[in-house]
Structures are given as structure tokens and as C-alpha cells.
Amino acid sequence: MIQIILVVFVAFLAGMEGILDEFHFHQPVIACTLIGLVTGQLLPCVILGGSLQMIALGWSNIGAAVAPDAALASIASAIILVLGGQGRAGVSSAIAIAIPLAVAGLLLTIITRTLATGIVHFMDNAAKEGSFKKIEFWQIVAICMQGLRIAIPAALILALGAGPVKAMLGAMPSWLTGGLSIGGGMVVAVGYAMVINMMASREVWPFFILGFVFAAVSEITLIGLGAIGVSIALIYLTLSKMGGNNNGGGSSNTGDPVGDLIDKY
């Protein structure tokens, strides 16, 4: 019972963070890790969270386009992974389920945001009355509604129990799970492409190239890659400061200090 309460609480936090973006509990790697902590299945949930995080890198709300619901996908797939009892072997099946869940979560997002529009009018009326307590009350109601958007589906999945979940996972044919896994890998590539498209600039491309080159060297561990990344960041910051203070050296001062230094040399 304590684990059920903690799982629903984590789901509630993930739903709220989908709007607040303060502690990023809605991010797959954090949400799945928290589910793993409270259920005692940390390792498979961390692997699931890392895999889903790669997929969700390119998910973002751009204009009127609403991104798939990463919070619902993370929480629901982690719960299904735990209830299935397959451990690391069930990660691929959980990922396959997470993708359609993320798309289905868009419906819940639209419903809650539509209801939040009405709450805004209540807050407007409270502002006309000069009642800050009412404004805070409706603000809390709106945020809690976002939490329930994830907590209620999580509770429903828990109510089904491990039996139906195992039967559902076992009934999935190998061609379906394999195909969805391949599709999930393609989604990862699309996510990376969207991130690169948003971040691409003249001074960033060299870092992308170095990153892919270093990642191809199998002898370098993750700690080594992290050390290389920190070193490159420190070098970039040092050159940026030099470029910003080099006003008398013929620099064009285009707002790209590293680019100005490269152009000068």
C-alpha cells in the first residue's frame, strides 16, 4: 500500500512538473528513476528512463503544436514494467507501449488545458475583487489538476494488477515488439535531428562533430566523455572572454566571440 501511494504521488508530481518545469520530475529519466526507487526496481527503470529520454529529446511545444506527453509515457511505462516483472528484459516492451501512450496523453493535455482556460476567468474575477487568496486558490487548483492528469491513469494501471499486465505483454507477438523497437529507434534519430535543427549555429557544429568522433572510440568511458565535455566547455568559456575583451585587435565583434577569434586568425 505504501508503494502504491508513493507511485501515485510521483505520478502527481510528474503531472505538475509538466507545467511548472522547476524540478523536471516529468522528464523520463527522472520520472522512471523515481518509480524505480519507490518500487525497488531501480536498474530496469533507469534503463527505461534513459531510453525514453533519448526519444523525448526532440519533443517540445512549438507554437500551437503540442508535444507528446512525456510524463504520462514515462510513468505509465515504468509502472507497466514493474508490474510485468520482466526486469531488464521487459524494457523494450515498455518502450513500445510508451510511444502510443505519449500520443494518447495529448488528449488528456487538451482536456486539462481547456478546463484551465475556465479557471483563468475565475482568477480574473478574483483579481477584480482584489482577493489574492482566491487567485492563489485557483492557481493551486489548476496545478493540482495537471497532477491528477497523470496520477489518475497511474492509479488505474495499478488497479489492474500484475496479472492483466503480464498477459498483455505476453500476448504481444515478437514481430510487433521488434517493429515497435525499431520504430522507437527511428524516433530517437528524429528527436536528435529536431534538437540539432533548433541549436545549429556556426560555433556549435564543431562540438557536434567532436562529440560523435569521441563517442565512436569504444575505449573512452562515460566518465572520460564527461571530462572531455567539461574541458571543451571551459576552453569555450575562456575563448569567449578573450573574444569579448579583444575590442582593439581588429575583431568584428559580431556577437560570436569564438567566431570573431577564428576570423581574426
pLDDT tens track for 201-239? 777 788 888 888 888 888 888 888 889 989 988 988 888
CB 146, CB 16: distance < 8 Å: yes
Q: How much is the average pLDDT of 85-95?
A: 80
Quick one: pLDDT at residue 123? 92
Same domain (yes/no): 174, 131: yes
Residues 128 and 30 in one domain: yes
Same domain, 181 and 237: no
**pLDDT for res 250:** 47
Residues 146 and 185 in one domain: yes
CA distance 9 to 158: 13
Say which residue, 240 or 182, is predicted with more confidence.
Answer: 240
Name the one residue in this structure whose C-alpha cell is 518500487: 39
Q: What is the structure's pLDDT at 251?
A: 46
Has residue 244 got a pLDDT over 70?
Answer: no
Q: What is the mean pLDDT of the chain?
A: 80
State whether 143 and 218 are in the same domain. no
Q: Which of 156, 171, 199 is a domain's end point? A: 199
Give the residue among 185, 251, 221 at the shortest CA–CA distance from 52.
Answer: 185
| Predicted local distance difference test score (pLDDT) of residue 19 | 82
**Cβ atoms 18, 147 nearer than 8 A:** no
Q: Return the closest-CA partner of residue 12 out of 247, 124, 4.
A: 4
Least confident of 40-44, 47-51, 180-184, 258-262: 180-184
pLDDT at 64 over 60: no
Q: Which of 151, 175, 199 is the last residue of a domain?
A: 199
* Distance from C-alpha of 257 to C-alpha of 239, rounded to nearest angstrom: 7
Q: Are residues 193 and 211 in the same domain?
A: no
**226 in the same domain as 170:** no
Range scoring the smallest mean pLDDT among 7-11, 51-55, 247-251 = 247-251
User: Domain limits at 251?
Assistant: 205-264
Residues 177 and 209 in one domain: no
Q: What percent of the chain has pLDDT over 90?
A: 28
> What's 68's DSSP letter?
P
Same domain, 252 and 169: no
Q: Are residues 24 and 75 in the same domain?
A: yes
The answer to whether the beta carbons of residues 41 and 82 sit under 8 Å apart is: yes
| 105 and 14 together in one domain | yes
Among 199, 221, 248, the domain boundary falls at: 199
- pLDDT band with cut points at 50, 70 and 90 for residue 165: low
**In a shared domain, residues 128 and 77:** yes
Report, as an integer, the average pLDDT of 70-91. Answer: 85
